[in-house]
Amino acid sequence: MDILLLSVIVLGGLGFIFAALLALAADYFRAAEDPRIVKILAILPGTNCGACGVAGCRAFAEKLAAAAGDVLVSGCVSGGVTVVQKLAELMGVAQPTDAHKKIAAVHCWAKVDQRQALARYSGVMTCQSANLVAGGGLMCRYGCLGYADCVLVCPFDAIKMEQGLPVVDPDRCTSCALCVAACPRQIIDIIPFTKRVIVACSSRDSGAVTRKNCPVGCIACKICEKEVPEIFKVIDNLARINYNKPGESGTECEVAINKCPTKCIVKL
């Protein structure tokens, strides 16, 4: 027999034997997987956004299954209330009391033509880059720069730019918070959507400076605090909303919305 052919047969036979042994070993030493992991994965949205704090949906499913009834059922923020409810039922735990819809809120509503320019920025057209160069050339050090970093990182197509401002679609937003991390000005945060009211400003400058820089900024007049003290507090020259108060802030805050002189308290 030709030596080359014999070599091929021998090597092929050895390869087959070793492959069979490896398959048998893999089957013998295989660790049994918790069957709940497959069920959890079927419930999760499968976006692998990482907003839960782990690498992806499978890692979250494994962590949840190992936790055996921990409050982690509310960890998948991108899945929303429906996913939390299904996970709570699967894991046999009570649904978390905070399992209500949340969305990203943009705390600046100054459109392009309302922003006072300090200089003309001509660098890399991203918010991260612009913020490093004299604040992007804007008088306000706290407002939106308008280069859409938040839009680019949103995996759900929930943000679009209108007149230089990011606008969040509440039906698409899953509160994954990737836009929060992407904004160098830190003007985006996650709020309970049931409240539907925000202070559309992030400036902590004095009222006089804010009025000079922006016609729709908070001037710390404290009218909102006087009208609805249980909801509003002015801290560091900026009105803040206490979202932990019971009830629908959208209803409770009407008087503050109507009396705000710069109209920076808005309903979503």
Q: Output the pLDDT for position 247.
A: 58
Q: Establish whether 76 is an annotated binding residue.
A: yes
Interval 242-263: pLDDT, tens:
988 755 556 788 999 999 999 9
SS3 106: strand
Q: Establish whether 57 is an annotated binding residue.
A: yes
Q: Establish whether 154 is an annotated binding residue.
A: yes
Asked if residue 182 lies in contact with residue 94, where contact means CB atoms within 8 angstroms, the answer is: no
Asked if residue 160 lies in contact with residue 167, where contact means CB atoms within 8 angstroms, the answer is: yes
Q: Establish whether 221 is an annotated binding residue.
A: no
Interval 69-115: pLDDT, tens:
454 777 887 777 788 888 888 888 776 655 567 889 999 999 999 99
Asked if residue 107 lies in contact with residue 198, where contact means CB atoms within 8 angstroms, the answer is: yes
Which residue blocks in the chain are alpha helix, DSSP H? 3-29, 35-43, 57-67, 80-91, 127-132, 149-153, 178-182, 207-213, 223-227, 249-252, 254-259
Q: Establish whether 108 is an annotated binding residue.
A: no
> CA of 42: how far to CAs of 37, 50, 67, 83, 235, in Å?
9, 17, 18, 10, 45
Q: Establish whether 183 is an annotated binding residue.
A: yes
User: Which of 17-31, 35-49, 157-171 comes out lowest in average pLDDT?
Assistant: 17-31
Helix axes 35-43, 80-91, angle to 10 degrees: 160
SS3 43: helix
Q: Establish whether 150 is an annotated binding residue.
A: yes
The pTM of the full predicted model, rounded to 2 decimals, is 0.73
Sorted by where each starts, the structural domains of the chain and their CATH numbers stand as 35-91 (1.10.15), 100-193 (3.30.70.20), 194-268 (3.30.70.20)
pLDDT for residue 28 is more than 80: no
